[in-house]
């Protein structure tokens, strides 16, 4: 049985803590399933990133899709971060935190008219465009609104990020961005777009990237393009390399942020513009846990099942990416054996599982388990299937904590419906 621990999530006297807060106590107060985050982990990750790039002109735009709880976004905004918003809903959430719209980037492979309009109305720093048709539309809408849209073209550099196929985005077979040739021709045609000012160039080659080489290769390709555009007489203000930096869920080794800086800073220094980063997972993943209670143990033939009160609707990653998350008791009992079991939720789908054939400590009904590395792409991907209410979220700050989102009520489940 392997245990996950870091500076902010660790055992003290065999009880799991997030900073100074005992998880068993929190679960008693708020029930399970329950998301718990360490604010100090988020802050440390942000500062580590900032420090690594302090020698260059850069800015972090937190990719809020990783964890868009208002208090989490606000944590980064208060540190000076910008925000990368992927829809009008995320833009709405971001602005609720009071972030200055000039620190917001609007992303998405398919923005609607309303999203483009909202971005222009709010005056976001820039809109990232992902097709020629979209650029035509942005120009038309900006013209109607009598505004000038600041736009960056998202380039698909055709580099294999060597990550899970569902979260690889930088290959020409992926739906994202436009190829370098198309991008160059768009920038060259800039006079055709009366109400667009091209202020940046952008890429994002995938997520949970653990190898540094694809990143460096993509930055190199994008900077070649940057110089061709410069040669054509256009000086871009922003060079956006997206997010994607991997974290350790299990034993995988990802490159460190300092290594990333060391390999890319020499390339960035050649560019005379601001470098933009959009990290999501790096900032939040390992600062969160999902706590669940063991309901039952059973055996079907030789196979052990641990049935818990949380399910794929609360945390989807294992079901759709076969993602690994440690699952560990919130109390370490010295006298328990390890067993090999599937840890499954109550939903009527065989894909509703957190682990398969996993060696875990034998647990009894009523015991609590923590699923670790749940701070990114956890709660944001939750849903109400099987009529399940979504869990609360607790933000721990040292020896204090706040319920930053409460458990959904039954009324939440039906508030927008009517019976006819």
Residues at the interface with ligand LLP (CB under 6 A): 63, 65-66, 84, 107, 167, 204, 207-208, 242-245, 278-282, 317, 321, 377
Cβ atoms of 177 and 184 closer than 8 Å:
no
Q: What is the DSSP string of 104-151?
A: EEE--SS--HHHHHHHHHHT-SEEEE-SHHHHHHHHHHHHHHT--EEE
What's the sign of the alpha-carbon dihedral 252, 255, 258, 259?
positive
Nearer to ligand LLP by Cβ, of 16 and 276: the residue is 276
What's the sign of the alpha-carbon dihedral 242, 247, 253, 259?
positive
Burial of 8 by CB count in 10 Å (0-12 exposed, 13-18 middle, 19+ buried)? buried
Euclidean distance between CA atoms 211 and 213, whole angstroms:
6
Radius of gyration of the chain (CA): 23
Q: Which of 12, 181, 348, 387 is catalytic?
A: 348
Whether 348 sits among the annotated catalytic residues: the reply is yes
H helix or E strand, kind and range, residue 71: helix 70-78
Euclidean distance between CA atoms 176 and 130, whole angstroms:
7
Cβ atoms of 250 and 323 closer than 8 Å:
no
Pairing of strands 238-240, 274-277: parallel
Residue with tokens 């540094």: 212
Contacts of 180-189 with C-beta under 8 Å, sequence gap 24+, read 180/155, 180/221, 180/225, 182/132, 183/153, 183/155, 183/225, 184/225, 184/228, 184/229, 184/232, 186/132, 186/135, 186/153, 187/153, 187/229, 187/232, 187/234, 188/232
What secondary structure letter does DSSP report for 102? G
Edge to edge, the sheet with strand 15-18 lists: 9-12, 15-18, 21-22
Question: Which of 150, 152, 160 minimizes the C-alpha distance to 178?
Answer: 152
Question: Which of 128, 135, 129 minimizes the C-alpha distance to 194?
Answer: 135
Active site positions, annotated:
348
């Amino acid at each position: 049985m392997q245990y996950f621990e870091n500076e902010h999530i660790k055992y003290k006297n065999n009880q799991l803590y997030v900073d100074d807060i005992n998880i068993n106590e929190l679960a008693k107060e708020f029930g399970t399933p329950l998301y718990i985050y360490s604010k100090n982990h988020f802050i440390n990750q942000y500062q580590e990133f900032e420090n690594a790039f302090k020698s260059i002109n850069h800015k972090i735009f937190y990719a809020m899709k990783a964890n868009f709880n208002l208090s989490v976004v606000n944590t980064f905004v208060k540190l000076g971060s910008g925000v990368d918003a992927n829809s009008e809903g995320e833009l709405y959430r971001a602005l609720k935190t009071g972030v200055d719209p000039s620190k917001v980037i609007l992303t998405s492979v398919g923005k609607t008219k309303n999203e483009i309009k909202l971005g222009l109305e709010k005056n976001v720093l820039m809109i990232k465009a992902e097709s020629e048709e979209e650029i035509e539309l942005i120009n038309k809408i900006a013209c109607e609104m009598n505004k000038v849209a600041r736009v960056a073209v998202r380039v698909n550099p055709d580099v294999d990020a060597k990550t899970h196929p569902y979260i690889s985005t930088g290959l020409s077979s992926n739906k994202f961005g436009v190829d370098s040739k198309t991008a160059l021709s768009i920038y060259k045609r800039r006079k055709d777009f009366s109400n667009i000012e091209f202020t940046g160039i952008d890429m994002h080659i995938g997520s949970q990237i653990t190898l540094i080489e694809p990143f460096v290769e993509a930055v190199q390709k994008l900077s070649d393009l940057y110089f061709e555009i410069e040669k054509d007489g256009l000086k871009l203000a922003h060079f956006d390399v997206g997010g994607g930096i991997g974290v350790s869920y299990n034993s995988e080794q990802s490159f460190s942020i300092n290594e990333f800086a060391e390999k890319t800073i020499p390339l960035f220094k050649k560019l005379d513009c601001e470098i933009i980063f959009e990290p999501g997972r790096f900032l939040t993943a390992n600062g969160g846990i999902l706590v669940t209670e063991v309901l039952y143990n059973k055996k079907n033939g030789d196979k052990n099942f641990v049935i818990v009160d949380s399910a794929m609707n609360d945390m989807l990653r294992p079901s759709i990416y076969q993602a690994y998350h440690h699952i560990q008791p919130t109390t370490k009992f010295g006298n328990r054996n390890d067993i090999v079991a599937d840890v499954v939720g109550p939903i009527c789908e065989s894909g509703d599982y957190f682990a398969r054939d996993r060696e875990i400590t034998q647990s009894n009904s009523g015991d609590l388990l923590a699923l670790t590395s749940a701070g990114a792409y956890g709660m944001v991907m939750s849903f109400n299937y099987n009529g399940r209410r979504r869990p609360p979220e607790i933000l721990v700050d040292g020896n204090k904590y706040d319920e930053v989102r409460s458990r959904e009520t039954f009324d939440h489940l039906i508030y927008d419906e009517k019976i006819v």
